Structure 1
Amino acid sequence: MRDEKWTARIEAGVEGLTKAEWAPDSRNILCFSEWGLRVTIWSLSTGTATYIQFPKHPDRGYAFRKDGRYFVLAERYKSKDMMGVYDCPSGYKLIRHFALPTTSLASISLSPTGNHVAAWEAASEFKVVIMNLTGQHIATFIPTDDPLLGVRHILWHPSGTYLLVGGWDSKLYILSSLEWKVVATIQLASRLPSSTACCTIHSS
């Protein structure tokens, strides 16, 4: 039996294209246009397109739930940070759309369990908010030592029990999902000791 080859071509047109990636089901392709105009989901099964308007960022601020059921997207609508929750098996039908308690959203991170979303402000403000997929505001984390800069990176524990928040203040805050409070704070060294350095940089 001869193998059949199949190819497809997607043209973005005047709206431009900044990023394209596969959906978890490998049957849809997400295309992010320039200027944050929209996200286009192309179905390779039907050849049709689904459009989602006004994503907050063209390269971040979105996630799929682990089982591929839901797609969450940070959006900017009427000068407000919003979040849309879309049902993937139903052709990315919108099932929830709610405002986020942020002013200049940097990005979001979906928990491994798919129950919570962490959203944080841009680098000028250290603020992390925890939401569920129904739009309920669960908690807000702001360090008590009032750091000058904001969040650098966020990572969930594989079980979803803990949330690690790394700041530009060289501190790592570990939050428990039981009460969303800090259970440990780690001060990161600004530089490695010379005995453990893997390389040496010589100045000219």
Structure 2
Amino acid sequence: MNFSELFKQSNQLCRFSPDGTHVASCSSYRLVVRDVATLQITHLYTCLDAIQYLEWSPDSLYILCGMYQRGLVQVWSLEQPDWTCKIDEGSAGLIAVRWSPDSRHIMTTADFYLRITVWSLINKSVSYIKYPKEASPGYDFTRDGKYLALAERRDCKDYVSIFSCDAWQLCKHFPVETTDLAGILWSPNGRVLCVWDSLLNYSVQLYSMDGRCLTKYSAYQFALGVKTVSWSFTSQFLAIGSYDQKVRLLNNITWKAIGNFTHTPSVETSRDLVVYREVQKRLPAMSTDSMAYSNNVFRTESKYEVAEGTVKFSLVKPDPDKPNPSVGVGLVIFSHDSRYMATRNDNMPTVLWIWKIPTLKLAVALVQSLPIKQFEWDPCQQRLALCTGNNKVYMWSPAGCITVNVPSDSLFNVVALGWNPTGKSLTLLGKDQFCVCYLTDTSID
């Protein structure tokens, strides 16, 4: 691995372009675009206020910057640096903004979900979509960009509307059997729409494009239900993470559960299950700065050791007096080929579980010294990167695990990361800085 120098950023706003050739970062009200290969600045833009959201257009030709406090969106062009666009929601306010798949329309959501506005960069036309429901996500595009599914709330009932993205015309409108819809998500092939209820009611429903209900699934009742939902990239599997610390896997043939992955407090290692445990050693800081020593700054070295026998995991007891308890499976991500599934159980925050889909069994468990902040799969191969809020980046592949210190003259803790769509590099983000990590090898030895 090779690491770049540190650059300034704010609000963890640092994104690779979809074509993988540029990386954009925000520092207060400035937008900086760099070439990925050289990290030389290719474009520098100045916005009207501090940037709170950043998103590339799918064709990598435009960048939008959201300034929610001012209700503004500014759009910049890489091909025409002098071209500018400003969207002002005015008194309606702004809480979310997103590109449409055609890279020529922008969708803004007004305060209190009063409406969704579609702004055209082609002819400057404006379209309004009424009755959007507060959900996560509340709307979703098919991967081919032809259709938009929107969750709605009318007369105290939940509905879904399907729009054609060519002319933003309503194609289908139908009710869904939820008490309080929490989110909707298209399958990657665009054939099935997943709808799930709030955490108070375990209910997952699957609908076809024409509004037919294909199946309804409920694992249990009278307890906190669905926490997260994730499709495999092949659309063959739907993973449902629940508050009971389990992941149910539905198949796309019968829509029945074919796997039930339980996150137990301990596991027994075997030939088919490997547990890697991070072992840290604390050393004095190498810096000669007297201030570093006075603040008791230390550097740590760590490595993975293969555990044997019964391995117990540390548990975090949730506070019953606080909302959104840290319990249950809150993150599920499939690898690019859908052969592996990585999960994190929120009341075991230091453990990363990696399941092998062909065998429907746990293959690997990574036990970290600190709670896992984020993990992401390589978009091109079976490789996973994660961070825990220290000065290290961790990587796993079927070949093994590695831990690498991020070289820096100052204290730089990695709190977030993001893969380049090409799989050749990733961004490592700290509190107010970032660097680019270049992978010189395609596998982990």
Whether the TM-score (by the shorter chain) exceeds 0.5 is yes
Change (3 A) 1:103 1:147: closer
- The letter for the 1-side match of 2:369 is C
Asked whether the equivalents of residues 170 and 190 of structure 1 are also in contact (C-alpha less than 8 Å), the reply is no
Aligned to 1:168: 243
Distance in 1 between residues matched to 2:174 and 2:265, nearest whole Å: 39
Aligned to 1:183: 258
Residue aligned with 2:88, SS: coil
Q: Which of 195, 215, 231 is the matching residue for 1:119?
A: 195
Q: After the TM superposition, which residues 1-204 of structure 1 pair with which residues of structure 2 at under 5 Å, given as runs?
A: 5-57=82-134, 60-90=137-167, 92-143=168-219, 145-146=220-221, 148-189=223-264, 193=313, 197-199=367-369
Residue aligned with 1:14, SS: helix
Change (3 A) 1:176 1:129: same
- The letter for the 2-side match of 1:61 is G
Query: Residue by residue, what CA displacement relative to the aligned partner does 1:68-105 show, whole Å, maximum 9, x if unpaired?
Result: 00011101112110111111112x11111111111100
Change (3 A) 1:58 1:126: closer
Residue aligned with 1:21, SS: strand
Deviation at residue 159 of structure 1 after TM alignment: 1.4
- The letter for the 1-side match of 2:195 is A
Query: Residue by residue, what CA displacement relative to the aligned partner does 1:134-171 show, whole Å, maximum 9, x if unpaired?
Result: 1101100011x546111011111111111111101100
Distance in 1 between residues matched to 2:264 and 2:124, nearest whole Å: 52
Unaligned runs of 5+ in 1: none
Change (3 A) 1:38 1:190: farther
Deviation at residue 190 of structure 1 after TM alignment: 5.1
Provide the TM-score with structure 2 as the length reference. Answer: 0.42
Asked whether the equivalents of residues 81 and 99 of structure 1 are also in contact (C-alpha less than 8 Å), the reply is yes
Query: Residue by residue, what CA displacement relative to the aligned partner does 1:110-147 show, whole Å, maximum 9, x if unpaired?
Result: 1011011111110111110111111101100011x546
Asked whether the equivalents of residues 33 and 58 of structure 1 are also in contact (C-alpha less than 8 Å), the reply is no
Change (3 A) 1:99 1:158: same
Residue aligned with 2:91, SS: helix
Distance in 1 between residues matched to 2:144 and 2:173, nearest whole Å: 21
What do you get for the CA RMSD once the two structures are aligned?
2.1
Residue aligned with 1:138, SS: strand
Query: Residue by residue, what CA displacement relative to the aligned partner does 1:15-54 show, whole Å, maximum 9, x if unpaired?
Result: 1110111111110000000111110000011111110001
Percent identity of equivalent pairs: 31
Deviation at residue 58 of structure 1 after TM alignment: 6.5
Residue aligned with 1:35, SS: helix
Change (3 A) 1:164 1:54: same
Structure number with higher strand proportion: 2
Higher relative contact order (CA 8 A, sep 6+): 2
Distance in 2 between residues matched to 1:104 and 1:10, nearest whole Å: 32
Distance in 2 between residues matched to 1:200 and 1:114, nearest whole Å: 38
Distance in 2 between residues matched to 1:135 and 1:52, nearest whole Å: 19
Distance in 2 between residues matched to 1:126 and 1:54, nearest whole Å: 24
- The letter for the 1-side match of 2:100 is A
Specify the structure having the higher radius of gyration (Cα).
2
Name the count of aligned residue pairs.
198
